[in-house]
């Protein structure tokens, strides 16, 4: 799943932030992330020293989503019955509509995984994509 997310974020494209920052998932923060511009840039996309460290943080974030119980839909902001995060929930959290074409992002990841958006993240992470 991280590979698909990276493709949507532009990882591997020379000069693209996910590539230059070794951060396939375009995360702002993670255990291996730092902000070379200093504290005023702490909300910018994080930089890892290596792709392996960036990927470790990306996989960690996806596992956190798989373990998370939510009661507000990240897309609609409406209350829902408490449930584990789905692919839909994770993508709308990771790539919010104010920053991305989230519906296209979700469709791309779901197509790549061969799973519907309502698939629990825990199941999605069992697949190799």
Closest CA to 24 of 5, 38, 40: 5
Closest CA to 6 of 19, 21, 25: 25
User: How many beta carbons lie within 10 A of that of residue 99, not counting itself?
Assistant: 10
Helix (H) or strand (E) holding 52: helix 51-67
- Rounded to two decimals, the pTM is 0.91
CA distances from 19 to 28, 32, 67, 75, 79 (A): 14, 15, 28, 27, 36
Per-residue pLDDT of the chain in tens (129 residues, 90 and over written 9):
999 999 999 999 999 999 999 999 999 999 999 988 776 765 689 999 999 999 999 999 999 999 999 999 999 999 999 999 999 999 999 999 998 899 999 999 999 999 999 999 999 999 765
SS3 of residue 95 by DSSP: coil
Triad 66, 124, 12: Cα angle to 5°: 100
């Amino acid at each position: 799943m991280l590979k698909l997310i990276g493709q949507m974020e532009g990882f591997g494209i020379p000069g693209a932030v996910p590539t230059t920052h070794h951060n396939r998932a375009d995360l702002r923060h993670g255990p291996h992330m730092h902000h070379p511009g200093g504290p005023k840039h702490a909300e910018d996309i994080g930089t890892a020293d290596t792709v392996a460290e960036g990927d470790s943080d990306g996989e960690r974030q996806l596992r956190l989503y798989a373990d998370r119980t939510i009661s507000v839909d990240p897309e609609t902001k409406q209350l829902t019955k408490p449930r584990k995060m789905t692919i839909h929930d994770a993508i709308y959290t990771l790539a919010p509509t104010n920053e991305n074409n989230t519906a296209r992002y979700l469709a791309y990841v779901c197509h790549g995984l061969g799973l519907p958006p309502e698939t629990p993240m825990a199941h999605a992470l069992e697949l190799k994509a």
